[in-house]
Amino acid sequence: MNTTQTSIAQWVRANIRRLVPYSSARSEFKGKAEVFLDANENPFETGLNRYPDPLQWRLKEKISALKGVPASQIFLGNGSDEAIDLVLRIFCEPRQDNIVILPPTYGMYQVSADIADVGLKKVSLTPDFQTNVQEILSAADEHSKILFICSPNNPTGNDIKLSDIEVLCAQFPGMVVVDEAYIDFSEQASCISLLPKYPNLIVMQTFSKAWGMAGLRLGMAFASEEVIHYFNKVKAPYNLNQLTQTTALEALESKVEDRNQMVKTLLEERVKLEKVCRDLPYVQTVYPSHANFILVKMSDPNAVYNYLVEQGIIVRNRNSVHLCEGSLRITVGRPDENVTLIEALKNWKHL
Ligand SMILES: *Cc1c(COP(=O)(O)O)cnc(C)c1O
């Protein structure tokens, strides 16, 4: 018997359990009608004069078919960043609860916790950027409500071992969020298939990376129906605008091939970039990547960073980040952009 089965509601903040959510005009009426005079909209057609579907059912049905997850187990948000913020507001009592993060990792978990006035426990990844399962479990206390795991991890690029994620789902005494923003670039299976087994698991994905739609602001969270119910209670009523919903539907209907082609090209380009970087005399390590970027350790990262800026090429300086000392994080660009980058890197004269 899985003890987490009955714990989900207990981990939810009492005020959220009690919350009576805002009821929009569009969610109160269900059925067929011709004349809508219930929402104080402007009746003249502008293309956007009506409020959008608050629960985005058409889009969820499409995503459901693609991911093999029932629509009732999907939350859609204004980027994954909205889902990260909501999960904190659902489960963490300000000034009382805490979350566990595994640095070096994505910065938004800490920022969202700081904004929510929620405590932070940091358990470092190992030097090869894997999870320290026993340390994570001993760091957790009765106020640790969420563990954030990023796989493939940003900024290191590697997959986190699925077997470790499973142990953490089974034994962490709270919710486990697996942020899979880069999963489409990885050969490792998504944690979505673990959802039926672990009611405390939330898997997040996004349209911002592989789909090439960072400007759309569309993030997804997959979880048990019970957890999604809390997301829906707490979210803003119309959190996804009509343009986002329509554009994403079109992409799912006609741009899957384009997406696959972009991912294929980016992976080939990453391999090329890794090879070139490994041969540069001032590079010490090109860390293994399962994402659309590489982390490269070198002898003089600040000087290389400034030199690249002078060449009009902007990468991410991670030199001051725990376990990433000496490293730059480089996103894989278009083939022509990568040629420019490689040319510049080869021309860097280190002392
Ligand atoms: C880029 C990224 C996201 C995406 O966030 P959006 O709000 O969906 O754009 C989420 N998590 C990680 C780790 C990322 O690197």
The pLDDT assigned to 142 comes to 96
Protein residue with its CA nearest to atom 4 in ligand 1: 80
| 180 Cα–ligand 1 center, Å | 9
| Residue 5: pLDDT band with limits 50, 70, 90 | very low
| 217 Cα–ligand 1 center, Å | 10
**Position 4 pLDDT exceeds 70:** no
Q: How do residues 23-37 score in pLDDT, each as one tens digit? A: 888 778 878 899 999
| 179 Cα–ligand 1 center, Å | 8
Q: How far is residue 321 from each of residues 41, 136, 291, 297, measured CA to CA in Å?
A: 49, 20, 19, 12
Percent of the chain with pLDDT over 70: 98
Rounded average pLDDT over 226-241: 97
The pLDDT assigned to 25 comes to 83
Protein residue with its CA nearest to atom 7 in ligand 1: 79
- For residue 219, the ligand 1 atom closest to its alpha carbon is 8
Protein residue with its CA nearest to atom 11 in ligand 1: 181
Protein residue with its CA nearest to atom 14 in ligand 1: 181
Percent of the chain with pLDDT over 90: 94
152 CB under 6 A from ligand 1?
no
Q: Which CATH class is domain 258-347?
A: alpha beta
The pLDDT assigned to 305 comes to 98
* Cβ neighbours of residue 342 closer than 8 Å, sequence gap 6 or more: 272, 273, 276
199 CB under 6 A from ligand 1?
no
Q: How do residues 46-70 score in pLDDT, each as one tens digit? A: 999 999 999 999 999 999 999 999 9
Q: List the chain domain ranges.
A: 3-21+54-254, 258-347
Q: E strands along 80-208, which residues?
A: 98-101, 119-122, 144-150, 175-179, 201-206
Q: How do residues 79-92 score in pLDDT, each as one tens digit? A: 999 999 999 999 99
| 321 Cα–ligand 1 center, Å | 18
Protein residue with its CA nearest to atom 3 in ligand 1: 181
The residue with greater pLDDT, 110 or 23, is 110
| Residue 251: pLDDT band with limits 50, 70, 90 | very high
Q: State how far the Cα of 266 lies from the Cα of 270, in Å rounded to an integer.
A: 6
The pLDDT assigned to 350 comes to 63
**Position 6 pLDDT exceeds 60:** no
Sheet with 98-101, edge to edge strand ranges: 74-77, 219-222, 201-206, 175-179, 144-150, 98-101, 119-122
* Cβ neighbours of residue 15 closer than 8 Å, sequence gap 6 or more: none
179 CB under 6 A from ligand 1?
yes
Among 132, 127, 101, 128, CA closest to 114: 101
User: SS3 of 326, please?
Assistant: coil
* Contact of 326 with 319, CB cutoff 8 Å: yes
The pLDDT assigned to 351 comes to 53
Which among 63, 76, 78, 81 is the best mutation to test ligand 1's pocket, defined by most ligand atoms within 8 Å of the CB?
81
Q: How do residues 165-191 score in pLDDT, each as one tens digit? A: 999 999 999 999 999 999 999 999 999
Q: Which CATH class is domain 3-21+54-254?
A: alpha beta
Q: What is the mean pLDDT of the chain?
A: 96
Q: How do residues 301-350 score in pLDDT, each as one tens digit? A: 999 999 999 999 999 999 999 999 999 999 999 999 999 999 999 999 86
